[in-house]
Each structure stands twice: as structure tokens, then as C-alpha cells.
Chain A
Amino acid sequence: MSFWRSSFARCGLVLTVLLAGLGTCWADPRTSNLWWMPENASEGGVYIDQLMWFILFLTGIVFVLTQIVYIFFIVKYRARKGVPATYSHGNNRLEIIWTAIPTAIFIGLWGYSNHLWWDVLHSTPPANSLQVGVAAYQFGFSFQYPGTDGKLGKAEASFVSNDNMFGNDPSDPDAKDNFTSSVLEIPVNRPVHIRLDSKDVIHGFYIPQFRIYQDMVPGRMIDWVWFTPTKIGKFQLACSQLCGSGHYNMKADIEVVSEADFEKWYQEKAKAVQPQPGAKLTSVTETKDQ
């Protein structure tokens, strides 16, 4: 009886593997990109991918070993006539071993992750970074570039309003030649330092190819995100935080272009600029609430 039952269980297992395999084949070799991450297109993404592979390697080993041992036990120790179970309440030495080793591994993994988090991804943006303001609203994105002076100027969340989506400080003259764009146009191989804010609800700034995600929170000006695109091409910015009925289609185009092309686009835009509606000079005193 038990033999039939255990072979029943094993049949199920084999069947699953087979079906999973079939599923894999069926669900298509048409594209290169079905099973793994989209090709990385930013400098920081290289490190994230390395860490990802490292974790995959680590968890892969644990996964394969535990499942093999487990299935081996299940098959080997199926009930058989005349073979009693071992009477054992455990083994303290084993408990210590399998507590200590995972603890060491996890703390090590934290060290690696945290180093990357601070020293690479959230280090101070380089001085030659292109400053871009990103504003989100139900349901779209808008981008703000510094005018010919190269400075976005001060901005604060408390200034964000329908007329001043980027929260520019009205008393800061640096902001008055800023211009906006509906496309995120950026030069390749130059760091881009973005400043994120939202007008209404929480939105997400997510570009999978750049391995970047940051929530855009109303009432907060988030200025620690920067990245360096490394590939010329068209990408898409997706809102990845549920933000309402139009969330499913809230996106923006990103164009990574050569430095020369960017310069051309930038000069044209900058030349045509009128001072931003939200950037007109008034005598509002500067407040620090961040």
C-alpha cells in the first residue's frame, strides 16, 4: 500500500517536472527576453546585476541541496514493512551548526548589499551631473531641465501646486530659465541627477533597464537618485505604484542620445524658453522643512 502511495507521489513529481518543461517550451522562445532581466543600460545596474547573480548562486545552491536531500529522504524513508522509524528527538550540535552558518551568511550578504547601497548607488552625485526635475501627477510625468545657467535652482515640496509642479522656489532666480519636456531626453554616459516630487498621490519612478525604482511622494522632495545611462536607445518610464484609475497607462518615453545630439536638443529647448509660470520671482522667504 505504502509502495503504491509513494510511487503515486513520485509520479506526481515527475509529471510536474514534465509539465513545467512543456510549459517552458510552449511559452515561447520567440524573444530573447522571456526568462531573465532586460539588458542592463546603466552604470549602477552592473553592480546590481552582479549582486543579483551572487544571490541567485547562493539561493540556487541552497534550493537545489535542500530539495534534493528532502526528496531523497521522502523516497528513502517511505513506510516499508518491518522497517521502524528512528527514534530521535534531535541533535543540539546540528542545531548550532545550522543556526550559525546561515547567520554568518546573511550578515555577510547584508554587508555586501549595504556597501553597494551606500558607496555606489547613493554616493554623492558627480559634479558634472545633468540635473533633471521629475514631477508626477494623475496620470503622467513631466520633466524639468535647467536653462542655460545649468542650474535647476532650489525647490521644496511645500511649493508644489498646480501652477508649480516641480516645487521651484519662487525667490530663486536660478529656476526662472528652466524648461520642461514631456520626454526624458538624456545624454549617454553622463550622470543624471533627478529630483522627484508628486503633486497628488504616490507614484513610482521605475526604469527596469536602469535597475532603478523610487517612489515619488507628495510632500517630499526626493533628491538622492542618480544614474548614468550607458546605452543609446529608447526606454520607457513606468509608474509602478498604484495611483488610481489611469495607473495602468501612466508612462513616459525616455530617449538616451549621444552627447552631441543631446546638446543640439538642449540648446533648441533652452533658447525657446520663457520663464516658468511657477518660477516667477516673488518675495517668499525661504523655508527649511526637509
Chain B
Amino acid sequence: MSQTIVHSGAETHTGTAHHHELSFFHKYIWSEDHKTIAIQYLFASLFFLLIGGLLAMGVRYQLAFSGQPIPLIGSLLPRWLVTDAGAIQPQGYNGLVTMHATVMVFLVVMPLLVGVFGNFLIPLKIGAPDMAFPFFNALSFWLFFASGIILLSSFFVPTGFPAAGWTSYAPLSANGAYNGSQAGQSLWCVGIFINGLASIAGAVNYITTIINMRAPGMKMFRLPLPVWALFITAILLLLAVPVLSAAAAMLFFDLNFGTSFFEANRYGQPLMWQHLFWFFGHPEVYILILPAMGLVSEMLAVFSRKPIFGYKAMVYAMAAIGVLGFVVWGHHMFVSGMNLMLSSAFSFSTMLIAVPSAIKTFNWLGTVWGGSIRFTTAMCFALAFVSMFVIGGLSGIYMASTPVDLFIHHTYFIVAHIHYVLFGGSLFGIFGAIYFWYPKMFGHMMNEFWGKVHFVLSFMFFNLTFFPMHNLGLNGMPRRIADPSLYDFLKSSQPLNIFVSLSAFGLGLSTLIFFVNFVYSMFKGPKAPRNPWNSTTLEWTLPSPPGHGNFPVTPTVYNGPYEYSVPGMDQDFLPQNQPAPEAARVAVH
């Protein structure tokens, strides 16, 4: 691969020396420092995580206790959501489902992975002073924040949240008379459009930074895996997000200006929306998991004290996922009424994309094999990620098989599947990464004991919540049904629904432990040393937190990212910016 080394102002840049006192506004509000922007993203998306979680609680409350008023807050909620007595209405339920998914995908998991860790880690890990376009970076955050406010503001319009699902299938979404929330749906379109602008600005920034601003010696195949993952993710973002933005704009026109892109009764094409949406939507699934895979790979190597098993195989697998990710979107549409031949073709490509995921899983097992595993909280979450991802990956095979998909397509089976990938996968990876990089971000350690409590409870309640959903799906329970007890064939699974809801409440409560730990540690956590985990990558050579401009002297990179337990060395890690000692007998990468 590329041997090109780009000197990014290496000789002249002197980090803190160049630092001058910034005004409050430029330091905390319109900051162009990638680390501050990462932290802004972190606070904003954790806030949205709370909102998204509350919406999920509403969904689960309705499925278990349909028609019963919500205790305490029921009567305070707006009338589009609840009845006069305070019980959730069917249309309000559709809104909750729609916004739970929208918030979690666009305002939580995506910004947490790409916004927070992309911003924080890329410059620090490649030895750069900042992003290539700091102004765009700041702009990206504020566009993202605005999109979140716009999306959530539909809570206050009289017709309430958009109610056509996060997939917003037209023509339901394209006509206020059909979906009952013209204003909410319009706000959704605007919010998603602006959110897309933020993603595109970020993606351009990441790609440019990684290609042009690597420190001397940082070859592409010496990049830490999170950086590789974010690089591939940024390419996916750049190619996929504009399609969604365009589709959202068209939908907005259909809703408000009388065009008819998607409405069949006026010669539009309902399926075109699905093709556009999933052309974005499937790469999006990988946008939501690839960075988590990168972060987890790193934590597994650090805490196993081992080089990552099959580094290049990991990179090639991610690249393969990135490419194949663009030709599998039709597997969301096997039963949509599109040509049956297309279903065959998409089923084939979907089977193929399972292969790189399998490769990654085996390499994770290989990384843990022969290790010397430290069970920190971050590692626990990373280990759990692999295990949960295996479940989520395997359950995907059922849907990839077209005939089985006929049975389970729109049931809770797929709800279970998505949550195993997105919660047990991405969000567990994110939790682990927050515990892992928190010291570098804030200069304090998070509390390990309460971290473990958070982990054990989350892991338990996560599985108790989402595993039974497979069974609900197999029993035929469709998604997005406000009251399953109205169906004869679903009456028998109502006890299971109650069980799932109670577990979900447990999961919600256990996440609060994390929030308390997060805030408390910021003030009272023990001071973090430079390198609390004895890690090899460049960010750990800096003080915690690193100063403005990052590296006082641009580092030179001599080794691959994961040189742990190199034989013949006194310490069990070889930082990337230290040449391998003579005594080290094995040729490091």
C-alpha cells in the first residue's frame, strides 16, 4: 500500500507554544479544536441518548400495559400522544416508535461513533495537530445539534411526532392526510436533511485528514484500526448520505408543494422511496457498526496485551464490508413488491457480506487467544460486543434467506436482530470506548466499580430484553403494532411482552448508573496519568487531556499500532513513536 508519508508542518508546529488564550465563546461554543468538538458531540448525543431511551420506555410501556395511564407523568403529556386519562394513543405510539429509532440512529449512535470518536481520535492517533478543516468541523457539530433540535421540536406541534416510522415509507409519509402529522413529518425531512449536511462536512474532513495529515512514518498499514474503520465509514457517509438528503428533500416537496415523486395515486412511485432510503440505509447500518468494530478491536488488543490477530485481514474485511455494503440494500425489500429476480440477486450479495463479518469475528477470537486479559470495564464491554455481535450477525442470516424472510420479515425477530447489532454491538462498543478514552478526554478516571456494576446490569437486562423478542417474532408479532393483544394469534405471547418490558425498564435504569458515573468522575474521579492502560498508540504519549494543538513536537512513527508483549522487552508494550530496541528479537510490523 501507500508508502507516502506526508509531513504535516512537522518542523514548525510546536503545540502549546502556539496556543493563545481563547475567549469563552471560542473555547467552548464555537470551538475549532477537534477535542472540544468531540466533547460537544459527546454531551449532545448523550443527552439525545436519554431522550431516545425515554421514548423506548414509552414504547415498551404501551406494549405491556396497553390502555393504562402512564403513572405520574401521563396527564402532563400532550394530547396527540396520550388520551385524557394519560394512556398512550395508537397514533402517539406510532410517533414514539418513529422518533425512538430516528433519535437513536441519527442523534445517538452515529454522532457518538463518528462525531465523538472520529473527531477525538483521528488527529490524536495519526499525530496531527487538528482536523484538516477546523471550521467545517465546528460547523458540522452545530448543524448536527440544530438537526436534533428540529427533529425533536415536533413534540410541540399539535399533531405531534412524525408517525410513519423511521423508514418513512411513502406514500404514508408523503401525505399529511394519510399519516396524520404533516407538520411532524415535514420537520423530520428538514431535520434529516440538515443532519445529512453535518455528516457530509464531517466525512470530507475525516477523509482529507487521514490521507494528508499523518505523522512521518504513519503508513496506512500502521494506522490503528479505529482510524481505518472511521476512514472507511467516512467514505460510506460521503457516498450514501447525499442520497438520503435528496430523498428527504423530495419527500418534503411531496408533503408541502404538491409534487408527486412517491405518491402512486398521482403517478409517483412508492417503491422509489424505498430504493433511495435503503441505498442510504444499508451502508448506514455499516456506518453504525464499523467504527464500533474498530474501537473494540483496539480495546481487545490493549487488554489482551497482544497484537491484533490478522491486522491486514481486519482492514480488508472492513473494506469488503464497505464495498459490498452498497449492493445489498434490496434485502430490506424482498417482500416490498419489487421484481422477484432482484430479491434473488440481493439475497446472494447479502450472503456474501456475511463473510467479512465472520472473518472479523474469528480474528477477534484469535486476538483473545493466548492473551493476558485484563478485565477492565472497557474490556468487559468490548468482550460483550463480540459475543452480542455474533448473535446479531447470525440472526441476520435468517432474513437473508428469502423464503424465511417471508415469515419473519416485519416481525419482532428483526427488532431483536437490529438491537443485537445496534445496542449489543454499537452501543456496547461505545460504552467501552467511553470508559477507555474518558481519561484522555477529561483527565480523570471513571469509577471502575460502578463501571462494572453498569456492565453487569446492562449485559443482563440487555439480553433479557432483546433475546425474547426473537421468540415474539417467531410467534408472528408484527413490528409497530400499538396493541398486540388485539390479535388472536398474539394473545399467548402477551406475558412475554410484559417480561420484555420489565427487562427494558431495568435496562433503562442501569444506564442511569453510567450517567451518574460519567458526571461524577468528571469532578471527583482520580487524576488520569498519561497512559493509564499502557497503550501503544500516539494519543497516550500526550498529557490527559492533551493541550490545544496536540503534539508539541510532531511524532515520528516506527511501529505498527499493536506491539504488545514483544519478546525481549522489559515492558509489555512498544509505543508507536519508539523504535524497537535491539533486544526485541521479533521483527515488529
| B307:A99 contact, CB within 8 angstroms | no
- Evaluate contact between A86 and B493: CB separation under 8 angstroms: no
How many chain-B residues does the 8 Å CB contact rule pick out? 116
The reply to whether A202 and B171 form a contact with Cβ atoms under 8 Å apart is: yes
Residues of B within 8 A of A248 (CB): 90, 93, 481-483, 486
Task: Decide if A242 touches B492 in the complex (CB within 8 Å).
Answer: no
- The answer to whether A95 and B481 touch across the interface, beta carbons within 8 angstroms, is no
B311 close to A217 (CB less than 8 A)? no
Which residues of chain A from 18 to 51 have a CB within 8 Å of any chain B CB? 19-20, 23, 26-28, 30-38, 45, 47-48, 51
B478 x A12 contact (CB < 8 A): no
Please determine whether A202 and B169 come into contact, CB atoms closer than 8 angstroms. Answer: yes
Assess whether B7 is interfacial by the CB under 8 Å rule: no
Set B90, B463, B567, B589: member contacting A246, Cβ < 8 A: B90
A215 is contacted by which of B336, B347, B369, B370 (Cβ under 8 Å)?
B336
Cα distance A216–B361 in the bound complex, in angstroms: 39
B165 contacts the other chain (CB 8 A): yes
Which residues of chain A are near B394, meaning CB under 8 Å? 59, 62-63
Per-position 1/0 for B359-377, Cβ under 8 A of A: 1011101101111111100
* Contact partners of B304 in chain A: CB under 8 A: 77, 85
B564 at the interface (CB under 8 A from A): yes
A90 to B344, alpha carbons, bound, how many Å? 36
Max count, chain A CB within 10 A of own CB: residue among B179, B335, B456, B464 = B335
Q: Is the CB of B564 within 8 A of A85?
A: yes
Are B265 and A218 closer than 8 Å at their CB atoms?
yes
Which stretch, B117-125, B130-138, B405-413, touches the partner chain A? B405-413
A189 interfacial by beta-carbon distance below 8 Å: no
Q: Are B480 and A247 in contact (CB under 8 A)?
A: yes
Question: A79 an interface residue at 8 Å Cβ cutoff?
Answer: yes
Query: Is the pair B404, A87 in contact by a Cβ cutoff of 8 Å?
Result: no
With the chains together, A200 CA to B262 CA distance in Å?
12
Given contacts A74-B373, A74-B383, A99-B359, contact A219 B269 (CB under 8 A): yes
Q: Does A265 contact B (CB under 8 A)?
A: no
Asked if A249 and B460 make an inter-chain contact with CB atoms under 8 angstroms apart, the answer reads no
Q: Do A213 and B410 have beta carbons less than 8 Å apart?
A: yes
Kindly state whether residue B340 has any CB partner on chain A within 8 Å: yes
**Minimum distance in angstroms from A74 CB to a CB of chain B:** 6
Instruction: Answer whether A89 and B311 are a contact pair too, CB < 8 Å, given A34-B493, A66-B361, A248-B90.
Output: yes
Chain B residues numbered 172-198 whose CB sits less than 8 Å from any CB in chain A:
172, 178-180
CB of B440 to closest CB in A, whole Å:
22
Say yes or no: A8-B335 contact (C-beta < 8 A), given A23-B499, A204-B410: no
Chain B CB within 8 A of A243 CB: yes
**Stretch touching chain B among A109-117, A145-153, A269-277:** A109-117
Q: In whole angstroms, what is the CA distance A20 to B462 when docked?
A: 11
Residues of B within 8 A of A90 (CB): 307-313, 363, 366
Q: Give CA–CA (A247, B397) in the complex, Å.
A: 29
What is the 8 Å Cβ interface bit string for chain A, positions 117-129, against chain B (1 contact, 0 not)? Answer: 1100110000000
A282 to B319, CA, bound (A): 60
The answer to whether A110 touches B351, judged by C-beta atoms less than 8 angstroms apart, is yes
CA distance A10 to B369 in the complex (A): 17
Which residues from 290 to 308 on chain B have a C-beta closer than 8 Å to any C-beta of chain A? 304-308
B535-589: which have CB < 8 Å to A? 564-567, 572, 586, 589
Decide yes or no whether A164 CB sits under 8 A from chain B. Answer: no
Question: Roughly how many angstroms separate A202 CA and B173 CA in the complex, as a whole number?
Answer: 10
What chain A residues lie within 8 Å of B147 (beta carbons)? none
CA distance A87 to B481 in the complex (A): 53
Q: Is the CB of A12 within 8 A of B459?
A: yes
**A15 interface residue, CB < 8 Å from B?**
yes
**A13 CB, min distance to chain B CBs, angstroms:** 9
Q: Which residues in window 264-294 of B have CB below 8 A to A? A: 264-265, 267-271
The interface size of chain A toward B, counting residues with CB under 8 Å, comes to: 107
| Candidates A33, A70, A73; contact of B493 at CB < 8 Å | A33
Residue pairs across A and B with CB atoms within 8 Å: the count is 348
Pairwise interchain contact A35-B172, C-beta atoms closer than 8 A: no
List A contacts of B171 (CB < 8 A): 200-202, 218
Contact call A247/B589, Cβ cutoff below 8 A = no
Q: A23-B468, A48-B407, A118-B344 are in contact. Are A38 and B489 (CB under 8 A)?
A: yes
Chain A: which residue is nearest B362 at the CB level? A98
- A34 touching B313 in the complex, CB below 8 Å, given contacts A16-B459, A84-B572, A157-B264: no
Give 1 or 0 for each of B487-504: 1 = CB within 8 Å of chain A CB.
111001101100100010
- B369/A73 in contact, CB under 8 A: yes
Q: A6-B373, A215-B336 are in contact. Are A103 and B352 (CB under 8 A)?
A: yes
- Within the complex, the shortest CB–CB distance from A57 to chain B, in Å, comes to 12
Question: Are A78 and B375 in touch, CB under 8 angstroms?
Answer: yes
A118 to B394 alpha-carbon distance, docked (Å): 24
Instruction: Tell me, in angstroms, the Cα distance from A33 to B459 when the chains sit together.
Output: 27
Whether B372 contacts A85 by the Cβ 8 Å rule is yes
**Chain B residues positioned under 8 Å from A78 (CB to CB):** 372-373, 375
Q: Which stretch of A170-178, A180-188, A233-241, A255-263 is in the interface? A: A233-241
Chain B 373-390 near chain A by CB (<8 Å), digits 1 or 0: 111000010010011001
Of B42-50, B71-79, B227-235, B469-477, the segment with at least 4 beta carbons within 8 Å of chain A is B469-477
A77 and B359: CB pair below 8 A?
no
Question: Is B142 at the interface (CB under 8 A from chain A)?
Answer: no
Within 8 A of B (CB), among A59-117: 59, 62-63, 66-67, 69-70, 73-74, 77-80, 83-91, 94-95, 98-99, 102-103, 106-107, 109-110, 112-114, 116-117
**Are B464 and A113 in contact, CB atoms less than 8 angstroms apart?**
no
Q: Are B172 and A214 in contact (CB under 8 A)?
A: no
Closest to B406 in A: A213
| B406–chain A nearest beta-carbon distance, Å | 5
Min Cβ gap B503→A in Å is 7
Chain A to chain B contacts (Cβ below 8 Å), 22 pairs: A2-B375, A19-B460, A27-B495, A30-B492, A34-B492, A34-B496, A35-B471, A74-B383, A85-B565, A87-B567, A88-B309, A106-B351, A201-B169, A204-B410, A217-B264, A220-B270, A235-B489, A240-B411, A242-B94, A244-B172, A247-B480, A249-B486
7 smallest beta-carbon distances between A and B, as pairs? A219-B264, A208-B476, A86-B370, A218-B264, A90-B310, A248-B482, A31-B492
**A208-B407, A238-B487, A244-B172 are known contacts; what are 13 more A-B pairs with Cβ within 8 Å?**
A55-B401, A63-B390, A73-B365, A77-B368, A77-B372, A78-B375, A99-B355, A106-B354, A211-B407, A213-B409, A217-B337, A239-B478, A244-B178
